[in-house]
Amino acid sequence: MSLSRKSSSFMQPFAILSWVGLLVCTLLYARPALAPGVGTPPGWLLLGVQAVFAAAVFLQERARPDRLRGLDFVGLLRNLVFGPGLLATVCVVLHLVERLLKAEMPGTSPLLFTVLYTVNVGLFILFLARTNYSWRSLVLFRSSARLRRIWEWFELLLGFTLLLSLVPRSLPYSLTTALLGGLAVLGVYISSHQKWVAYLNRRQKIQAVLLQSGVIVAMGIFAAYFLQTQYDPLLVAPAPQHAFLVLNAFFAAFYAFMGLMVTFFNLPTAGVFEQKREEILSLQRLTQLIQKSQTPEEVYRMLFDSAIQTVEADAAWLEVESIDNSEYTGQHYHVSPDQAAAIQRLLTEYNLGHIEYLNNDLQNSAGFRSLELPYGSLIVMPLRSSKRQYGALYMLKEQRQGFDRENLSILQTFTSQTVLSIENLQLMQASIQNQLVQEELKIASSVQDSLIPKDLPIDNWFEISSHAQAAKEVGGDFYDFLHLPGRRLAVLIGDVSGKGITAAFHVAQMKGIFHALMQENPLARNEREKFPVPSKFMAQANNALARCLEKAAFITASLYIIDYEHGGFVFARAGHCHTLYYHSIKEEVSYFHTAGLGLGIIRNDSYEKHIKNQFYDYNPGDVMVIYTDGIVEARNAAGEEYGENRLLLMLERTYYMDAAVIKEKILADLEEFSRGQPMHDDQTLLVIKFRASQPDIPL
């Protein structure tokens, strides 16, 4: 706690004690009969106690925190007037009432008169101290260090002068005059620094004038009171006491008067300052709308209200060109839609529809005169950016020469800020929409990832190794396995046209169709008819997809049903990539070139004609490579495709290896081929190698 705050804590009780001492001294001075044994105290003692009381009150007020809160200057004056000012004035009035009663009832004891008088002295000094430091808060508002030092000297000189007035012996006239003159000049200089007045609007300035007048009136009442009571026969007090009080009242009233004059002479300029202040606030509100993520309609309404208020338009309308089917197309203020439409038609005829336009004499303009409008001035301010036109703002005033170039400049600032706000909002909405899409893609990617089998079929009859990588967040490739009774395994691989969430959705559909159609048929006549052959599956899948695929969408797929008990497989190709196969007996690698049309391309019963089954008996050591087009269509820096031939050569080099090693060799060669190039399509690769030894292990 600072020294001043510490001193404030004990100054208040010290001031109360000194006032009690002043009351006792005054009572004994005026009524010595109250304490015959003590006698009449000397006048210097009474004045000394009063000086101590005054110093304690001023020091206590000086040590208090600044009473000014932010820019609440009116609040500071209001607290001064309706606080100690009103209380002290009421006490004076009560004293005057007491004196009136005394005049009507002469027998009344004068003791009450003396007590009230001393109470008023205490309240008056408190009022003076509060007024002094309220003025200090106002005068030193955003002041320089130099002015604050001058104030401290002025405060010290004022205190010395006031306390000196309590000295019974008068100083030489010339010294007194020089002292008071210097104090007055310094006070005038300090009082000329009233920056706080510039921060008041017109209403606040009027309030400040009234409150400062209240302070002057309160000081005047006190001065009249002390001047009148010093000759009262009931009161016996030293003459310097009255001189001290009157001098205090004079200085307080003087500074109140200076502040009043500054405020009063600033009243005519209040409108200009308010207009500038409103312009700044309107710009701030428009800027804040961007940060608050408001809608374009709210920004337009804010522009409209701010423009009318700032340029003080008598009528206005806003025309907004909507491109997103928004219901808000503008609004009108004190002008009918018919009048607005007539003005717009006229401006269009003159090719002035969407350019800045100022006309301060509509009555003498031939076209506007024919419209018989009750307005004399018009401003048209378009809302446009380098990319597009957003609309136009129209301001009207009844009087001629109602607008000036400054109004035009203000509206230019408002409309440019509004267009910037609208475009920022559009960017923000696009960004939010993009974030939503990204979130949806993440969910779709997670869903798609869950559709890819994590556990590959394990059996001593074959080896399977797989690889799948999407080119974007969500791909369209898929594969799946399903064990069938009778030592059979169904393998499905496919590719959905397109990418993104829609492709992921169709992958999920295809997986559901695969599991639904590959269910055992209880009405089957034999073991082989319990499950559809690949061509039948493709026909049924095409029929199911015809109801849910978009017109432009299709799916390529291949279904293999491997019967590893009998060493053969059957497959059908629905527009998918050719199957690469290594024949261990022939020791050659080749592709199965079979016919087949993609699912969803033909959506009727004729589709089944385009799908064929192909049967093949495999041998131990045979290798089957199935893949999607992202593998063979991968490109190098020269734009060349990886191709089926290079894939075939890779299998020729690696057929004797394990399925997982064959897959890694192919992928390594693919990466080396397309190094540094982006992946344009999803890549899926399955390698199935039939083993040479097939022990009898139960499934």
Which SS3 state, helix, strand or coil, does residue 159 take? helix
Between 541 and 110, where is the model more confident? 541
Angle subtended at Cα 205 by Cα 204 and Cα 210, rounded to the nearest 5 degrees: 95
Among 47-56, 100-109, 155-164, 385-394, which range has the highest average pLDDT? 385-394
Residues 494 and 617 in one domain: yes
Higher pLDDT, 18 or 498: 18
Same domain, yes or no, for 467 and 420? no
> Do 406 and 303 sit in the same domain of this protein?
yes
Would 53 be classed as within a structural domain?
A: no
Residue 698 has pLDDT above 50, yes or no: no
| Chain centroid, CA 499 distance in Å | 36
Q: 460 falls in which pLDDT band (50, 70, 90)?
A: confident
**Listed residues 239, 267, 295: the one ending a domain:** 267
Alpha carbons 221 and 89: distance in angstroms, whole number: 7
In DSSP notation, 400-433 reads TT---HHHHHHHHHHHHHHHHHHHHHHHHHHHHH
User: Which pLDDT band holds residue 627 (cuts at 50, 70, 90)?
Assistant: very high
Dist CA 380 CA 343 (whole Å): 11
Query: Domain containing 131: what range?
Result: 70-267
Mean pLDDT score, 517-525: 74
pTM of the model: 0.47
* pLDDT (mean) for 441-460: 77
Q: If you average pLDDT over residues 586-606, what whole number do you get?
A: 89
Inside any domain, residue 11: no
Q: List Cα–Cα distances, 383 to 62, 97, 408, 562, in angstroms.
A: 56, 70, 13, 70
Please tell me whether residues 115 and 170 are part of one structural domain. yes
Distance in angstroms (rounded) separating the CA atoms of residues 498 and 640 = 22
Q: Are residues 82 and 197 in the same domain?
A: yes
Lowest mean pLDDT among 241-245, 476-480, 545-549: 241-245
Are residues 236 and 318 both part of a single domain?
no
Domain identity same for 168 and 128 = yes
Classify burial at 225, counting beta carbons within 10 Å of its beta carbon; exposed 0-12, middle 13-18, buried 19 or more. Answer: buried
What pLDDT sits at residue 395? 93
In whole angstroms, give the CA distance from residue 273 to residue 266: 10
Above 60 in pLDDT, residue 606?
Answer: yes
Same domain, 568 and 469: yes
Looking at the structure, do residues 404 and 469 belong to the same domain, yes or no? Answer: no
Is 25 inside a domain boundary?
no
Nearest to 553 by CA among 523, 510, 522, 511: 510
Strand order in the sheet with 613-617: 477-484, 488-496, 555-563, 568-574, 613-617
Q: Taking residues 682-692, what's their average pLDDT?
A: 89
Ramachandran angles phi, psi of 272, nearest 5°? -65, -45
- Sign, CA dihedral 140-143-148-151, equals negative
Statement: residue 244 has pLDDT above 90? no
The CA distance from 514 to 685, in Å, is: 19
pLDDT at residue 5, as a whole number: 57
What mean pLDDT, rounded, does the chain reach?
Answer: 80
Q: What percent of the chain has pLDDT over 90?
A: 19
- Three-state helix/strand/coil letters over 607-645: HHHHCCEEEEECCCCCEEEEECHHHHCCECCCCCECHHH
Does 506 fall in a domain?
Answer: yes
Neighbour count for residue 147 (Cβ, 10 Å) = 16
Is the separation of the CB atoms in 382 and 356 below 8 Å?
yes
Reported as a pLDDT band with limits 50, 70 and 90, residue 623 is: very high
Which residues, 6 or more positions from 481, have their beta carbon under 8 angstroms from its beta carbon? 453, 456, 457, 464, 489, 490, 491, 492
Are 679 and 612 in contact, with CB atoms under 8 Å apart? no
**Domain end among 393, 428, 463:** 428
Task: Return the minimum-mean-pLDDT range out of 358-362, 422-426, 558-562, 673-677.
Answer: 422-426
Query: Are the C-beta atoms of 527 and 542 separated by less than 8 Å?
Result: no
Tokens of 133: 């430091």
Q: Report residue 394 as tokens.
A: 């129209």
Burial class (CB in 10 A: 0-12, 13-18, 19+), 145: exposed
Q: Are residues 236 and 293 in the same domain?
A: no
Q: Measured at the alpha carbon of residue 121, what is the angle toward residues 173 and 132, in degrees to the nearest 5? A: 70
Does a structural domain hold residue 487? Answer: yes
CATH number where 482 lies:
3.60.40.10
Map residue 360 onto helix, strand or coil. Answer: coil
pLDDT at 252 over 90: no
CATH number at residue 356: 3.30.450.40
Q: What is the pLDDT of residue 173?
A: 67
Q: Find tokens 């004399």 and name the residue.
A: 376
pLDDT of residue 479: 92
Residue 696 in any domain: the answer is no
Tell which of 233, 267, 301 closes a domain.
267
Residue with tokens 């559909």: 509
Residue 468 lies in a domain: yes
3-state secondary structure of 526: coil
| Cα 528 versus chain centre, distance | 69
pLDDT at site 130: 83
Asked if residue 38 belongs to a domain, the reply is: no
In a shared domain, residues 397 and 424: yes
Q: Which of 30, 24, 40, 51 is nearest to 232 (CA)?
A: 30
Q: What are 444-453's pLDDT values in tens digits? A: 777 777 778 8
Rg (the chain; Cα; Å)? 49
Alpha helices (H) along 37-141: 43-63, 73-80, 86-104, 111-139
Domain co-membership, 388 together with 512: no
Distance CA 162, CA 252 (A): 12
Ramachandran angles phi, psi of 566, nearest 5°: -100, 0
Nearest partner of 492 among 474, 463, 515, judged by Cα:
515
DSSP 68: -
Residue 132 above 50 pLDDT? yes
Tally of domains within the chain:
3
Beta bridge partners of 653: none
- CB burial of 659-682 (b: ≥16 within 10 Å; e: otherwise) equals bbebbbbbbebbeebbeeeeeebb
Quote the CA–CA distance of 296 and 425 in Å, as a whole number.
7
Give the type of residue at 192.
Answer: S
